[in-house]
């Protein structure tokens, strides 16, 4: 059995490597931002409807009347049902699904596609919550978390999801989500880039054949992801949630696999994670088609580390902070919170201090050891500008080295929500509050060493004042 499992995984690894290496050939370039909308999918679905390989049909409507479309391909007896964006602000797998459509539309991988489509019939329901996607929010417009509506079925989106599952009597189900980028693989500094769960179908967490099959497919997928994101896989706690769709679909007899797309360093738009979704889902589909997953050791499921939530965007350690003339040593954890820009696929950051004190059991996407550095409040520059356009990068760096983190401007355009250079803009009447380092404030301060300002933290971004280096997206405007 071990030899058979080894041979089968070797065969799957071959196609996985090919899928990874050729991904750019199939990436749907029109969906390159996370804040995708329902209307962007319609021309892509219409094109699929013209392809004889696919069947596209409207199977329901959202509360606001947007179509919920089911895309099917294949002639096999085993039905595989994949749905995405149950939460409107979780689009990574939706993008990957359209990459998968491009894969099946191509002339490549003929033998592998024949194996899949002769044994399986694949059914995709992308963007289950289009009204939420329109607002880039988790819940639908009823204010309901669709993933907690499996019993009452009050939302039309929930009714559609269940009705399709029942009509297919699906053998396998892929419940595709995004999770917070602040999850990490337990007791490691690595983000949980992908997390899995074979949901329990009862409080006892029993493992029957259906749930066991889901676990085996997850083990197989974990082995794939480890090749491309080693140590960056987590496993969700499997406590039974009687209202959740994953738990109930497992209970109704479909081997259900939850996939959550988390964080990956320097991947704000989650395009690398999208690629991992594409590779791992297609590889899993292939092993289901071949039946090789049955040889996967079930006990390996529990070896996947559990999810933890101990990541910050920026963690500063061992900094000195003075109160009443007395020095204290603090760690500071900061997160950059996204604020969407209306009628846009972009956003700006309004960052916050999330925690401070002893954060030795926490981690950061970026960590700076501030031993020997003292946290200093930033001041307002003495000059007042007519417009922000007068500022230059050189002037800003000089201001920061002089301890100024704010500059006063007479005329800030009302449509401006953020500022792309590392200094805050304030109106001519705005008074900056007294600086007290505490949870909830915008993280803006300086790090001084030996009487010299060496680093600036502006809106949660760390800037090296010697050379200006450091990733930066935006400062803030205070009126």
**pLDDT exceeds 90 at position 6:** no
* 351/296 same-domain check: no
Residues 6+ apart with CB under 8 A from 111: none
Q: Over range 77-101, report the average pLDDT.
A: 98
For 189-231, the DSSP string reads SSB-SEEEE---SSTT----HHHHHHHHHHHHHHHHHHHHSTT
Q: Pseudo-torsion of CA 178, 179, 181, 184, nearest 10°?
A: -130
Q: Over range 250-268, report the average pLDDT.
A: 97
Last residue of some domain: 260, 281, 308?
308
Q: How is residue 469 written in tokens?
A: 């280096």
pTM attached to this predicted model: 0.94
* 364/260 same-domain check: no
Domain count, the chain: 2
* 393/468 same-domain check: yes
**Mean pLDDT, rounded, of the chain:** 95
Residues 6+ apart with CB under 8 A from 451: none
Do the bridges between strand 78-84 and strand 54-61 make them parallel or antiparallel, or are there none, so unpaired? unpaired
Distance (Å, rounded) from C-alpha 434 to C-alpha 427?
Answer: 17
- Given a contact cutoff of 8 angstroms between Cβ atoms, the answer to whether 37 and 91 are in contact is no
* Residues 101-149: tens digit of each pLDDT: 999 999 999 999 999 999 999 999 999 999 999 999 999 999 999 999 9
What does the DSSP 8-state code read for residue 292?
G
Residue range of the domain that includes 452:
311-478
Stretch among 90-104, 324-338, 341-355 having the lowest mean pLDDT: 341-355
* 215/361 same-domain check: no
The pLDDT of residue 12 = 63
* 458/424 same-domain check: yes
* 271/319 same-domain check: no
- Given a contact cutoff of 8 angstroms between Cβ atoms, the answer to whether 167 and 160 are in contact is no
* 65/151 same-domain check: yes
* 304/319 same-domain check: no
* Residues 312-328: tens digit of each pLDDT: 999 999 999 999 999 99
Chain-centre distance of CA 444, in angstroms?
A: 26
Q: Collapsing DSSP states into helix, strand and coil, what is residue 336? A: strand
Q: Give which of 232, 365, 255 is closest to 304, Cα–Cα.
A: 232
* 315/391 same-domain check: yes
Hey, what long-range contacts does 140-146 have (CB within 8 A, 24 or more apart)?
140/62, 140/63, 140/88, 141/62, 141/63, 141/64, 142/63, 145/87, 146/86, 146/87, 146/245
The pLDDT of residue 238 = 96
Distance (Å, rounded) from C-alpha 331 to C-alpha 316?
Answer: 5
User: How many CB atoms are located within 10 Å of the residue 237 CB?
Assistant: 8
Last residue of some domain: 279, 308, 337?
308
The pLDDT of residue 342 = 82
Q: How is residue 261 written in tokens?
A: 């797309």
User: How many CB atoms are located within 10 Å of the residue 148 CB?
Assistant: 15
Q: How is residue 465 written in tokens?
A: 């004042």
The pLDDT of residue 397 = 97
* 321/304 same-domain check: no
What does the DSSP 8-state code read for residue 420?
S
* 220/363 same-domain check: no
Last residue of some domain: 308, 341, 359?
308
Do the bridges between strand 120-125 and strand 172-178 make them parallel or antiparallel, or are there none, so unpaired? unpaired
* 274/385 same-domain check: no
Q: Over range 431-439, report the average pLDDT.
A: 96
Distance (Å, rounded) from C-alpha 202 to C-alpha 190?
Answer: 31
Distance (Å, rounded) from C-alpha 54 to C-alpha 72?
Answer: 6
Q: Give which of 289, 280, 265, 269 is closest to 20, Cα–Cα.
A: 280
Distance (Å, rounded) from C-alpha 37 to C-alpha 31?
Answer: 9
Q: What CATH number does the domain containing 277 carry?
A: 3.40.630.10
Residue 317's alpha-carbon distances to 31, 183, 295, 444, in angstroms, are 38, 20, 46, 16
Terminal CA-CA length for the chain: 69
């Amino acid at each position: 059995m071990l030899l058979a499992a080894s041979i089968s995984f070797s065969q799957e690894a071959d196609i996985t490597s090919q899928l990874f290496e050729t991904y750019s050939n199939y990436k749907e370039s029109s969906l390159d931002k996370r804040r995708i909308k329902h209307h962007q999918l319609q021309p892509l679905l219409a094109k699929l409807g013209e392809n004889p390989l696919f069947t596209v049909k409207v199977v329901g409507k959202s509360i606001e009347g947007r179509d919920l479309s089911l895309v099917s391909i294949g002639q096999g007896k085993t039905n595989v049902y994949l749905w995405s964006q149950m939460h409107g602000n979780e689009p990574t797998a939706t993008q990957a699904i359209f990459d998968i459509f491009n894969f099946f539309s191509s002339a490549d991988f003929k033998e592998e596609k024949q194996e899949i489509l002769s044994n399986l019939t694949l059914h995709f329901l992308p963007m289950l919550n289009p009204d939420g996607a329109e607002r880039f929010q988790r819940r639908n417009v009823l204010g309901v978390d669709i993933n907690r509506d499996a019993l009452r079925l009050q939302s039309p989106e929930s009714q559609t999801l269940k009705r399709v599952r029942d009509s297919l009597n699906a053998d396998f189900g892929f419940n595709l989500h995004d999770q917070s980028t602040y999850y990490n693989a337990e007791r490691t500094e690595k983000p949980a880039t992908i997390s899995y769960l074979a949901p329990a179908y009862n409080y006892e967490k029993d493992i029957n054949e259906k749930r066991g099959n889901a676990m085996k497919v997850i083990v197989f997928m974990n082995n794939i992801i480890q090749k491309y994101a080693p140590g960056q896989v987590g496993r969700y706690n499997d406590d039974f949630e009687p209202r959740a769709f994953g738990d109930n679909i497992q209970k109704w007899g479909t081997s259900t696999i939850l996939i959550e797309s988390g964080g990956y360093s320097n991947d704000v738009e989650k395009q690398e994670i999208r690629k991992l979704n594409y590779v791992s889902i297609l590889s899993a589909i292939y092993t289901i088609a071949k039946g090789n997953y049955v040889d996967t050791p079930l006990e390996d499921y529990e070896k996947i580390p559990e999810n933890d939530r101990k990541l910050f965007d920026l963690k500063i350690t061992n900094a000195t902070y003075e109160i009443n003339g007395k020095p204290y040593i603090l760690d500071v954890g900061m997160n950059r919170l996204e604020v969407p820009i209306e009628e846009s696929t972009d956003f700006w950051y309004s960052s916050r201090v999330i925690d401070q004190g002893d954060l030795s059991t926490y981690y950061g996407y970026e960590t700076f050891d501030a031993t020997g550095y003292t946290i200093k409040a930033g001041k307002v520059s003495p000059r007042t500008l007519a417009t922000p356009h007068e500022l230059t990068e050189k002037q800003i760096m000089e201001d920061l080295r002089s301890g100024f983190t704010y500059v006063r401007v007479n005329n800030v355009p009302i449509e401006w929500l953020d500022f792309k250079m590392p200094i805050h803009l304030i109106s001519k009447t705005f008074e900056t509050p007294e600086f007290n380092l505490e949870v909830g404030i915008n993280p803006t301060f300086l790090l001084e060493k030996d009487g010299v300002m060496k680093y600036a933290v502006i809106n949660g971004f760390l800037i090296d004042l010697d050379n200006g280096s450091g990733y930066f997206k935006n400062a803030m405007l205070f009126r």
